[in-house]
């Protein structure tokens, strides 16, 4: 089992910067890449802010924050990943985009480099098949927000080697994550259960059974959920929820996974959640206000 020293992260969004954050605190040198310089700058700012909050809550020391931030480098060129031991892709949840990223990576990184995807629903075996090293390919599905959530789903593709699996488990342990093994089927474990529940909440809204606020209140107080399903959808991103439902519907051919038309409509409108300031709630004011 190879020792990992330098970790590459592709994507500086909420998942990518979170993975870079925890990897740097765990002592890895991190190279975070994105096609957008603005996204990289925003990602670094987010990491700094989140680490600062951890310091205030006595979760990490000020010295750990300073050292961790120094371990993170950024680049808008994928060529910056040529000296990495592990590359984790955390790009948008679109199969074609992920496949193109992995094809590009394989032209740059050395033969010993392991490849991982943070996909929340797409077949790990299928993504691995476009690479030159399917045996060194694995799914590492982190939960959002990465610095706070303890779980990492580990998904082996059909060709994933035992060495790659053990390397992933050791990496997760160093990040202080608890792992759960999931088979390579659409949406794995967490999202196979969670996102259809969110989709059903959207159907409940669509059919007029309840309002945004009443649905969220019902599930918070009636099922003891920490946040309502429509609030959670906004945090995940409605576009991501829709992508996962489409993967489930296409992969399992069961009508119970049909995306709610209202979810589709919100995504078409660009109202995809908190990251853009509007989803099932409008976040432009002091307090979130339901948009329906």
Q: Which residues are catalytic?
A: 120, 141, 153, 191
Q: Which two tokens stand for residue 103?
A: 């094809």
Sheet holding 137-142, edge to edge: 72-75, 29-33, 6-10, 86-89, 114-117, 137-142, 151-156, 178-182
Q: Is 72 helix (H, G, I), strand (E, B) or coil?
A: strand
> In residues, how long is the chain?
292
Alpha-carbon span 99 to 120, nearest angstrom: 15
138 contacts 147 by C-beta, under 8 angstroms: no
Neighbours of 190 (CB within 10 A): 15
Alpha-carbon span 19 to 8, nearest angstrom: 10
CA nearest neighbour of 205 among 195, 214, 196, 217: 214
Strand partners, 75: 33
278 contacts 284 by C-beta, under 8 angstroms: yes
Helix axes 261-269, 238-252, angle to 10 degrees: 140
Non-local (6+) Cβ contacts of 248 within 8 A are 121, 186, 187, 192, 195, 196, 254, 257
């Amino acid at each position: 089992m190879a020792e990992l020293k330098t970790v590459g992260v592709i994507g500086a969004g909420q998942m990518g910067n979170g993975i870079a954050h925890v990897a740097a605190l765990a002592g890895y040198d991190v190279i975070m890449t994105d096609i957008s310089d603005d996204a990289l700058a925003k990602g670094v700012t987010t990491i700094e802010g989140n680490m600062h909050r951890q310091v205030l809550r006595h979760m990490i020391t000020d010295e750990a924050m300073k050292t961790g931030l120094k371990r993170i480098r950024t680049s808008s060129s994928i060529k910056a990943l040529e000296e990495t031991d592990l590359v984790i892709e955390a790009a948008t949840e679109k199969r074609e985009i992920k496949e193109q990223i992995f094809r590009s990576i394989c032209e740059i990184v050395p033969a010993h480099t392991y490849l991982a995807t943070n996909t929340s629903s797409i077949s790990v075996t299928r993504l691995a098949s476009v690479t030159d090293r399917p045996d060194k390919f694995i799914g590492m599905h982190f939960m959002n927000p990465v610095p706070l959530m303890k779980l990492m789903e580990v998904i082996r593709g059909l060709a994933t080697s035992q060495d790659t699996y053990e390397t992933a488990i050791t990496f997760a342990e160093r990040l202080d994550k608890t792992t759960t093994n999931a088979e390579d089927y659409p949406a794995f474990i967490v999202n196979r259960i969670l996102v259809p529940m969110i989709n059903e909440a959207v159907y409940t809204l669509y059919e007029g059974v309840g309002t945004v606020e009443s649905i969220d209140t019902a599930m918070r107080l009636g099922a003891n959920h920490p946040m309502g399903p429509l609030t959670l959808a906004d945090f995940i991103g409605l576009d991501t929820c829709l992508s996962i439902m489409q993967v489930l519907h296409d992969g399992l051919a069961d009508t119970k996974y049909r995306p709610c038309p209202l979810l589709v409509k919100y995504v078409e409108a660009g109202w995809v959640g908190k990251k853009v300031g509007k989803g099932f709630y409008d976040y432009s004011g002091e307090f979130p206000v339901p948009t329906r």
